[in-house]
Structure 1
Amino acid sequence: MTWGDSFLALLVAVLCLIGPGLIVTAPFRFGALARTAVSGLVGVCVVASAATTFGAFGLAFSWWQVLAVTVIGLTLALAVRPAVPRLEPRPDRRVLLLLGMWLLSVLAIAIVMFWRVPIPSRIAQTLDNIFHLSATSAILSGHSASPFAIGGLIDTTGAFTYSPSGWHSFAALVAQTTGVPVAVAFNVLWLAMIAVVWLPGIAWLARTVVPTWAAATIALPLGASFGWYPYGLTTGGALYPSALAHALLPAAVAIVLVAARAVLGERGRVSRARRWTAAVVGVALAGGALAAADPRAIATLFVIAAPFVFWRLVVVLRQAREAAPEELRRARRMLWGSLGAAAVVIVAGIAFGNAAVPLTGHPDDTSDLVAQTAWQSLTQVMMAQSQTGVNGVVTIVAPPLALAVIGGIFMALRRATTRWVVVPYLVLAVLYVLAAGEVGPVSRMLAALWLGDPYRLAAALAIVGVPLATIGIVTLGRLIVPARRAFGAGAAVVAAVIVGVTSTGTLAATGVSEAAGVVFRQPVQASDWAVVSSAQMTFMRDQVSAIVPEDQRVLGDPWDGSALAGVFAGREPVFPHVLGRWDDTRLTLAYSLPSIDETSEVCTALDELRVRYVLYTPGSFGGGDAEGDLFLGLHAAVEAGLFTEVATDGESSLYRIDQCGDLG
């Protein structure tokens, strides 16, 4: 399948992402840009609600469930429409210019990201992607897509788990409705996510921060210009759920800003009750969408939005000093209460981040995390350089983009209404410097909510960097043409295009495109740097799927590619990821398989898991389990010749286990 052949799947991915949101928000008075941005948040909430609700009844995830929840959402929207105020005071202007800039930005991102990825069926050969592919395949095979169930794939002990399943649910929808392979669904979904979630969201956020028609148009090419996002989370580990959450974050931040303005001090014809109701619903929508995509992104939302909320509270307090004493007391209570709540949230967040260790994240000693000096990290922030995640390559500085951000910081500090934007940028920059340096107790503690991962923090920097650069470019336009505001805005748009072209060109030429090519490189034969090879894929499709009955699982070392048996053979693997908390039955197979002739415990475990075949490929991704190989027993049993070989391609082999008889 070529990229051209996948165009229909791309359109379906767009429909899956924002279609439910466009339907649910249809009754409300939104502008086109705000409606599109909010629709991404609504769409994630709709899909997550469908997966959770119907999954609780044991139903396999399907498109009709999303349609049913969408209809319910539309009914509720019609019921509450009279209580919801207009989101934007004026209709969108210069829509054609906005659309043109959007299309150019989408094309620029697609070229930078996939220029060296020749076909859309390539997978990202990274540790995290093993679980993401396996989870999506499991959903397509009938496993629940609920975030309360998907974690059960890698925590089979029966413990309570919450694992965000937003990305996997959308990918399953695309594959289910178009018939494309999971790998193709991942790549077209990524493009659709950037096109209709990230770019509209960052444009709406920029216009919310800088209330001028040109701000949204300027923000679009800037949204393609930072290597930190949208590229870094893919080349630096294929962190798809986190990428979805960061695509949603601009719209989530914008909703919080609009809500804070509505309830903190602004007067108008809309009643206080309506404003508070709309604000609470909006913030809940933002939080719910982020929780479904990646709950850790809520910490980023707090860091970015909290300074604005506190600034609005200070404004309210100042205004209340000229009002009645009761108004002043209420304003003081709100301010101190908010500060106290923020302190509790920060302490709880740090405690949670240090206590919760996800099974799908990077191992502590993983080689893809960055280790550099604080000065190097600080230079990257100031010069808008980005880590590619491959071979330690860092992109070179794009001077126009770096100057736009620096100029934006300077101009934002000069205005009370934008001064707050600098605060989250500085906080995130400090966290990035801590996370990207040598890991120590302080940096580990403070950056724990982001798993100490510099790629997540760099992606958050881009969310604030775009509005700051927008401020800088808008100011530049006014300096170029000071006499005519419209001409100044036009000059700013031209400047934004120049920044976008130079920056994306720099990214493509100095590492990002090459890094993407390396991450998506597909070896012909098994290799210790790749999760799975073309030969293994073919063997699983042609041999494993034909020999192993559909109701049986496949046993294998997940580090050698067998974890993806569900993706390529349609047969559930016993171990669908290299990391996990496994029950005693699975641990018996991992450790004690060589003892199959001496103890009945092994056959009991094989019967319980419905296993009669072992998939084996010598070699292990990344050299195997660095924590001490859990699966040495599998290798020992195969190499001892305990099983019957039924298929081989000279490298991969499928063995039948005859010692335990047939499965009933």
Structure 2
Amino acid sequence: MIESWVTALPTILVVIAALSLPGISIIAVGWGIRDIRALLVAPAVSLAVVGAAAVIAPWLGMTWGVLPVVLLTAFGAAVAFLLRRGIAAGAFVKDDSRVHLTAALTVSVVFFAIAGQLIWAFGSPDSIAQRFDNIVHLNSVQYAVTTGNASAFNIGATSDIAFYPNAWHATAALASVITGASIPVAVNAANIVIAALVWPTSVMALSSWLAGARSVSLIASGLLSAGFGAFPALFFNWGTLYPNAAGYAMVPATMATMVSLTRSRGIALVRDGVLLVLLAGGTFLAHPNALIASIALGGPLILAILGQRALATRTRRDAMLLAGSFFGLAFLAGVLWTVGRTSAEHSSWVPWQSTAQAVGEALLVAPRGLGPAWVAAALMIPAAVVICRHPSRWVVAVPLAVATLLFVLSSGTPRGFFLRELITNPWYNDSNRLAALLPIGAIPIAALGAVALVKYV
């Protein structure tokens, strides 16, 4: 089996380059290479660039390939360069080189761990998942390669859909166009790199903001990203939900950038805001409900951080910032939940367990009968001690609380329950899609627990 994957190695390497170099270029120019938190969102930024470039290319009369990605990367780097010129040199973050080395080693180990799991599961590089959704996804990638157009306004043509999220399809099509690989090989390569590179770095970025940008939190969050059945593995079996997997892999990076905005001032706030717009747009192009998930988990987190600050400073400025953020996020959520509502035909997934059982599965991050994530659950205990002793750290638990609420509503409350229909409908009321959000909330808490445990020892 391993020998057969050697032939797929060039395709995998091409996807690694496509999902790392654009983001690294933009971050290096605008943030510098010493800011580990910014560097960790680079793969998610790259995925956003690929998705956006595929949409823009037809408007410029260009066929899908390397050139649109290079041009958009150059434009993004130019914007980042212009925005950084107003930032004082002393304001740039310069993390210790040991932290960078730790992060690089962790990402490398986790990449091979997750890639190894998926290679074992896929079997051979040209295998395709025997699931009904896969017909649409593979045909869409083939259509993008054949027509030279991977735009979100084109790839849905195989299913008579005027607009279909394209970031995942554009990545797989790009791999096929560059290497000449078959569609199954290109698809498997894209899935491996998204799961083994974009997802771990994304959740490491979020954990570094919530648990600290230190070696222990980076190691813990990186390793834990490979230890859940709920994500990303579930989406390669249920559905298959390839675009959703790409979108969820970007959610923690989008949330991390939202948190960074609460710490930014002046022109740095504008720079980080532009990055957030790029990531949010890319998350939407990966899958719209991934953007909704970013707001669902990130919105309350931001309000908690700003609320905590307002109570601490008692200044009018922070109170107004909190109020403005609340109404802005409430308006955005109202729009997204209204536009993102699904029909009764598509949101007919029913609950399948009691509310109490759903809560237990969420806390052990073991939804849908998957094995409990014992290490993550155990690390939440010292995290809980830290939160009790230092109440200001409670904000780290907000994303898991929201993810738990969504999962419990979808899987453990009656069909027709008004809160279930109101809140979880954009995810088709599907507990599988909401189960996959649990690791995003659990990993930062577990990372905080790991930091506390190492300090104690």
Q: Same fold (TM over 0.5)?
A: yes
Partners of 2:267 and 2:29 lie apart in 1 by 16
Q: Does 1:374 align with 2:355?
A: yes
1:19 to 21, 29, 41: 21
Question: Equivalences for 1:299-310 in 2 at 5 Å?
Answer: 299-310=292-303
Question: Is the CA contact 2:87–2:267 (under 8 Å) kept in the aligned structure 1?
Answer: yes
Partners of 2:329 and 2:82 lie apart in 1 by 34
Residues 383, 316 of structure 1: alpha-carbon distance in 2 compared, 3 angstrom cutoff: closer
Match of 2:147, SS state, is coil
2:273 to 280, 285, 290: 280
Match of 1:429, SS state, is helix
Partners of 1:261 and 1:78 lie apart in 2 by 20
2:96 to 87, 91, 111: 91
Question: Equivalences for 1:343-492 in 2 at 5 Å?
Answer: 343-354=330-341, 356-357=342-343, 363-364=346-347, 371-387=352-368, 394-437=369-412, 439-442=415-418, 443-479=420-456, 481=457
Partners of 1:123 and 1:176 lie apart in 2 by 19
Aligned equivalent of 1:313 = 306
Letter in 2 for 1:473: A
Letter in 1 for 2:65: S
1:135 to 134, 140, 149: 140
Q: What is the Cα deviation at residue 320 of structure 1?
A: 5.0
Letter in 2 for 1:303: A
Aligned equivalent of 1:342 = 329
Partners of 1:125 and 1:319 lie apart in 2 by 55
Where in structure 1 are there 5+ consecutive unaligned residues?
Answer: 263-271, 322-326, 388-393, 482-664
2:131 to 111, 126, 131: 126
Q: Deviations over 1:563-617 (max 9, x none)?
A: xxxxxxxxxxxxxxxxxxxxxxxxxxxxxxxxxxxxxxxxxxxxxxxxxxxxxxx
Partners of 1:337 and 1:76 lie apart in 2 by 27
Q: What is the Cα deviation at residue 125 of structure 1?
A: 1.6
Q: What is the Cα deviation at residue 3 of structure 1?
A: 1.4
1:240 to 225, 235, 242: 242
Q: What is the Cα deviation at residue 440 of structure 1?
A: 2.6
Match of 1:3, SS state, is helix
Where in structure 2 are there 5+ consecutive unaligned residues?
Answer: none
Q: What is the Cα deviation at residue 315 of structure 1?
A: 4.1
Q: Deviations over 1:137-167 (max 9, x none)?
A: 10001153222333343236xxxx4321000
Q: What is the Cα deviation at residue 55 of structure 1?
A: 1.5
Q: Does 1:74 align with 2:81?
A: no
Letter in 2 for 1:351: T
Aligned equivalent of 1:104 = 109
Letter in 1 for 2:367: S
Match of 1:229, SS state, is coil
Question: Equivalences for 1:102-251 in 2 at 5 Å?
Answer: 102-142=107-147, 144-155=149-160, 161-211=162-212, 212-251=214-253
Question: Is the CA contact 1:44–1:292 (under 8 Å) kept in the aligned structure 2?
Answer: no
Q: What is the Cα deviation at residue 42 of structure 1?
A: 2.6
1:39 to 35, 38, 42: 42
Letter in 1 for 2:357: Q
Residues 209, 88 of structure 1: alpha-carbon distance in 2 compared, 3 angstrom cutoff: farther
Q: Deviations over 1:388-426 (max 9, x none)?
A: xxxxxx223243332223443453354344211222212
Residues 406, 40 of structure 1: alpha-carbon distance in 2 compared, 3 angstrom cutoff: same
Partners of 2:356 and 2:309 lie apart in 1 by 40
Per the normalisation by structure 1, the TM-score is: 0.63
Question: Is the CA contact 1:317–1:331 (under 8 Å) kept in the aligned structure 2?
Answer: yes
Residues 409, 226 of structure 1: alpha-carbon distance in 2 compared, 3 angstrom cutoff: farther
Residues 433, 406 of structure 1: alpha-carbon distance in 2 compared, 3 angstrom cutoff: farther
Residues 45, 95 of structure 1: alpha-carbon distance in 2 compared, 3 angstrom cutoff: closer
Partners of 1:331 and 1:33 lie apart in 2 by 28
Q: Deviations over 1:101-128 (max 9, x none)?
A: 3333223223333324321111112222
Residues 444, 234 of structure 1: alpha-carbon distance in 2 compared, 3 angstrom cutoff: farther
Match of 1:226, SS state, is coil
Residues 87, 146 of structure 1: alpha-carbon distance in 2 compared, 3 angstrom cutoff: farther
Partners of 1:146 and 1:309 lie apart in 2 by 32
Question: Is the CA contact 1:404–1:472 (under 8 Å) kept in the aligned structure 2?
Answer: yes
- Once the two structures are overlaid, the 10-residue window that deviates more, 205-214 or 343-352, is 343-352
Partners of 2:280 and 2:421 lie apart in 1 by 25
Q: What is the Cα deviation at residue 433 of structure 1?
A: 1.4
Q: What is the Cα deviation at residue 276 of structure 1?
A: 2.5
Letter in 1 for 2:277: A
Question: Is the CA contact 2:27–2:39 (under 8 Å) kept in the aligned structure 1?
Answer: no
Match of 2:366, SS state, is coil
Residues 95, 80 of structure 1: alpha-carbon distance in 2 compared, 3 angstrom cutoff: closer
Partners of 1:474 and 1:55 lie apart in 2 by 48
Aligned length, in residue pairs: 449
Partners of 2:340 and 2:171 lie apart in 1 by 27
- Once the two structures are overlaid, the 10-residue window that deviates more, 84-93 or 206-215, is 84-93
Partners of 1:456 and 1:139 lie apart in 2 by 26
Residues 416, 283 of structure 1: alpha-carbon distance in 2 compared, 3 angstrom cutoff: farther
Partners of 1:194 and 1:83 lie apart in 2 by 36
Considering fraction of residues, name the structure with more helix. 2
Q: What is the Cα deviation at residue 350 of structure 1?
A: 3.0
Partners of 2:97 and 2:228 lie apart in 1 by 26
Residues 183, 255 of structure 1: alpha-carbon distance in 2 compared, 3 angstrom cutoff: same
Letter in 1 for 2:133: D
Letter in 2 for 1:206: S
Partners of 1:399 and 1:119 lie apart in 2 by 31
Structure with higher Rg: it is 1
Letter in 1 for 2:284: A
Residues 74, 382 of structure 1: alpha-carbon distance in 2 compared, 3 angstrom cutoff: closer
Partners of 2:116 and 2:20 lie apart in 1 by 23
Residues 472, 135 of structure 1: alpha-carbon distance in 2 compared, 3 angstrom cutoff: same
Q: What is the Cα deviation at residue 183 of structure 1?
A: 0.9
Per the normalisation by structure 2, the TM-score is: 0.89
Question: Is the CA contact 2:111–2:197 (under 8 Å) kept in the aligned structure 1?
Answer: no
Residues 99, 256 of structure 1: alpha-carbon distance in 2 compared, 3 angstrom cutoff: same
Residues 410, 425 of structure 1: alpha-carbon distance in 2 compared, 3 angstrom cutoff: farther
RMSD of the TM alignment (CA)? Answer: 2.6
